Structure 1
Amino acid sequence: MPDVNTNSAEAVSTTALHQGEAAFFDVDNTLMQGASLFHVARKMYQKRAFTLSDAAGFAWKQAKFILRGENMSDVHSIQDSAQKLAAGISADFIRQLGEEVYDEMIVSKIWPGTRALTQEHLKSGRQVWLVTATPVEVAGVIAQRLHLTGALGTVAEIEDGMYTGRLVGEILHGPAKGRAVQELAEKEGLDLSRSWAYSDSFNDIPLLTAVGNPVAINPDAKLRKYARDNNWPVYDFRSGRRAATLGLQAATGAGVVYGLWKGIAMVRRR
């Protein structure tokens, strides 16, 4: 009697079972610590695409983002600033910059626990998509490097190979994420009632409620309460979170700004 590889048979069976399903992951504070767009801005500063004061503004918003979680006004402020600063820059430059940002900054910020979840979904035969307000070029690099199915991100307008400083559609944030996932599901033939979604932010309730299996990862206070009230799973992959929070709260506003400014100045000197 020939040998039968039962593990392979089970893998094939499991893959077939989950076809037509997907898992959707937010990026900032869900897949990685902090805001990916901040690292894009930092790299653009290193390449002299804008000034030190611009970089300091991004750094201050990044510090607030890590401390208190996602804030709609800060997200839109960062995105608007980045779009204006990118006007006149070539699309090829941004794609190359996305590769450098991933290798030098983002890869070390990825939460191992969240990455493991993406791989488990892939092994089960589900599509795995990133859904983020981050520029689609950068989101695409992250998805490619992690061997995910693809990425949905904010799309900037390009004319003659150059960014115009305007968006195509809207920032992929809040309700826009829910609509984008529904459109993707129609295109890919996905059953959202059997799919999964992961986020850290209460602002992503439209994404989380679009699927049958919502999960909170590293949640802000409002999402943690909402998840608890609705019996959603909650994963927290942050280590030393309480100590870091208390340390930041103990620092004066002036001290934080000074530290950020000195850090960026060191980058400039290098």
Structure 2
Amino acid sequence: MRQLALFDLDHTLIPIDSDYEWGQFLCRIGAVNADEFARRNADFFAQYQAGTLDPVEYLEFALGTLAQFKRSQLDEYHAQFMHEVIQPALLPAAFDLLKKHQDQDNLIAIITATNRFVTAPIAAALGVEHLLAAEPDVDTSNNITGKLLGVPTSGVGKVIHLHDWLQRRDQQLSDFGQSYFYSDSHNDIPLLEVVTHPVATNPNAKLSAHALTRGWPQINLFDQQ
């Protein structure tokens, strides 16, 4: 029976937060008002770390920023972002972990609260075909409108998106003899609780404490990088 391997992205497969770094990148290149954007971005990031973030409010901010630019300009910015920020953060330990599951012919997916525009090229660079991410609405010219499609891919929303994705594949979680989910954050406890093999990966303090009480394994991919 085939196995399922799910991975969070930020601070799990990469040792940075791609959403936060994307905002910092836009500030650095002068694409947005640096002072105002950096302040709001930092506020949202602190809320995420504290577990108090309203995901819809944040995504409206993030997608609203993307909507200020034509898609061709966004793609140009993102190529530069990948070269300057993401490529240096793609480390051997993450590829080794993914390869372990690829060699076992597992069905592999990244499931992240960050939007698809930011994360799709990162998933491709990691060699992962399937990506479940916050979905930005686009117009007929493929420009981002600033609206979110469906529910956020955070908290219990990751469970919802997982079941919806499997249903579109005519599958369900119980079809897999073993299911893994690797995550760094206590925000992902709802999905960690429904797989057969939850793995606290580079865990924050809250997740580490929870994993200890539940007897979940804990790994740190980037300690020796």
TM-score range (shorter-chain normalised) is 0.7 to 0.9
Please say if 1:43 is aligned against 2:43: no
Aligned-partner Cα distance in 2 for 1:62–1:236: 25
Specify the code of the residue in structure 1 equivalent to 2:213: D
- Aligned residue in 1 for 2:69: 89
220 and 74 in structure 1: CA distance in 2 versus 1, 3 angstrom threshold = farther
Counterpart for residue 111 of structure 2: 131
**In 2, Cα distance between equivalents of 1:203 and 1:227:** 13
Contact 2:60–2:148 (CA under 8 A) maintained in structure 1:
no
Contact 1:127 1:148 in 2 (8 A): no
Contact 1:157 1:167 in 2 (8 A): yes
DSSP-derived class of the 2:190 partner: helix
1:59 CA displacement: 6.2
In the alignment, is the contact (CA less than 8 A) between 1:27 and 1:132 conserved in 2? yes
* CA–CA distance in structure 1, aligned partners of residues 12 and 37 of structure 2: 24
2:49 counterpart of 1:60: no
More helix by share: 1
2:155 and 2:84 map into 1 onto residues whose CA distance is: 29
Deviations 1:29-74 (A, max 9, x none): 1111231012222333345431111343266359858xx9463427
CA shift in 2, pair 1:177/1:63, >3 Å = closer
Structure 1: 5+ residue stretches without partners: 1-16, 241-270
Hey, what does 1:187 align to over in structure 2? 168
Letter in 2 for 1:198: Y
Matched, 1:104 2:84: yes
Mapped pair 1:236 → 2:220: yes
Q: Structure 2 residue aligned with 1:115, among 95, 108, 121?
A: 95
Instruction: Judge which range, 47-56 or 214-223, deviates more.
Output: 47-56
Contact between 1:23 and 1:126, CA under 8 Å: does it hold in 2? yes
1:168-226: CA deviation from partner (whole Å, max 9, x where unpaired): 11221111101111222223336355121110111101221221111000111221122
Query: Secondary structure of the residue that 2:87 maps to in structure 1?
Result: helix
Q: Which residue of 2 aligns with 1:174?
A: 155
Partner of 1:41, secondary structure, is helix
How many residue pairs get aligned? The number is 220
Structure 2 equivalent of residue 217 of structure 1:
201
**What percentage of aligned pairs have identical amino acids?**
25
Residue type matched to 1:196 in 2? Y
Question: Is 1:204 aligned to residue 185 of structure 2?
Answer: no
Amino acid at match of 1:183: D
Q: 1:28, CA displacement in angstroms?
A: 1.2
Letter in 1 for 2:39: G
Q: How far, CA to CA, are the matches of 1:119 and 1:148 in structure 2?
A: 10
Structure 2 SS opposite 1:73: coil
User: Which 10-residue stretch deviates more, 73-82 or 156-165?
Assistant: 73-82
Amino acid at match of 2:181: A
Superposition RMSD on alpha carbons, in Å? 2.7
In the alignment, the residues of structure 2 paired with residue 207 and residue 26 of structure 1 have an alpha-carbon distance, to the nearest angstrom, of 10
Q: 1:210 to 1:92 in 2, by over 3 A?
A: farther
Deviations for 1:122-165, whole angstroms, at most 9, x for unmatched residues? 11101221111111122211111121122111111112332222
| Secondary structure of the structure 1 residue equivalent to 2:82 | helix
Larger Rg: 1
Alignment match, 1:227: 211
Query: In the alignment, what sits opposite 1:6?
Result: none
Preserved contact between residue 116 and residue 135 of structure 2 (Cα < 8 Å): yes
Contact 2:14/2:89 (CA < 8 Å) preserved in 1? yes
**Which residue of structure 2 lines up, in the alignment, with residue 256 of structure 1?**
none
- Which letter maps to 1:172? T
Quick check: 1:26–1:130 contact (8 Å CA) kept in 2? yes
